[in-house]
A and B are shown apart, each in its own frame.
Chain A
Amino acid sequence: DADVTQTPRNRITKTGKRIMLECSQTKGHDRMYWYRQDPGLGLRLIYYSFDVKDINKGEISDGYSVSRQAQAKFSLSLESAIPNQTALYFCATQDWRNEKLFFGSGTQLSVL
């Protein structure tokens, strides 16, 4: 089983819909991240959390919200999806001892 699991793997939705992307991990890491990947732009940080009570906005947090339900779960929500939120979304955890990131398999989101 994957250490970092994202669901769904692919999602198509319509403009204005609320959508939630889920991430769960079995690595026991406190640090979790949500990134967005667009062609030619690389990975950009949406939100990050260093523990259950710590939530921080990244550089592109507008239009997104997150919930850290437990150490193992970190969800990303789009309150009202718009077409320019079409992208590949990654959840990641980080091992504080060596700074290594462990990524989920990504969720490809298309907003029509």
Chain B
Amino acid sequence: KNQVEQSPQSLIILEGKNCTLQCNYTVSPFSNLRWYKQDTGRGPVSLTIMTFSENTKSNGRYTATLDADTKQSSLHITASQLSDSASYICVVSDRGSTLGRLYFGRGTQLTVWP
């Protein structure tokens, strides 16, 4: 069964600190993995997209890693800001359909305190 599991479920950090969010998946055949940021009451916004051959991709203070062998990904946030408070969702796409089927994790709810 294609699944995406994220940890931790929630995380509280102080402004300026770093944090790392984890994602494990069983989706096969694998196409790509994305990290989305979803602010409360808003739609998800893409942060990074990685294919099988990519190990690391950065977008400003966000750095995503992918280990396709162990089917694990992480999202590292550097020097957190209050505006980073949001849900971070790991999404995996399979190669098996023209639909571009996405499999969503439940997200990690990050809260950044001043």
Chain A partners chain B: no
Report which B residues bind A (CB closer than 8 A).
none
